[in-house]
Structure 1
């Protein structure tokens, strides 16, 4: 009973959350229970502000980049606790491009 009323950032609550499986963390995220996340609400808000500032900085760079130059890549959001690693973007190689072209032209697998 006392444990339920501890602040989310307390050592005890952090230790309990760290024992959760990725599936349990995902279920809590789906239920919208930020207090059960690995960060306190203040840390979550600060991360959101950090992401917003970086996005605004990126937007400013894009607006001031010469139209002929390559647009800078957008910033990656700060990784949140309980979130799995980001998936790498697929790179289109010459081999995969040729294979895709063959498939689009009616080539069999």
Structure 2
């Protein structure tokens, strides 16, 4: 029970993984989806650092007049890519009036 919750980089998990025969390892890996697996804290932090460096380079190129292209964050398990996510829709005028008290007294446009 306690072994299930050890991080993948722990000595115990590594020893168990190293003791599995090649045939068993191949059988267990059939149909596996490592992209859906959990990340350790170190992997998550490394992805954040990688994204920050890429974003910094992106901003630096744009600030110096270059065309940096679109920033693509590192894919993380359980989070669909930006293209697969629903596109965010803008607010209607009615929704804006409901949220912003300054707009409530303005006449409605036809």
Q: TM-score, normalised by structure 1?
A: 0.45
Structure possessing the higher radius of gyration over alpha carbons: 2
Higher relative contact order (CA 8 A, sep 6+): 1
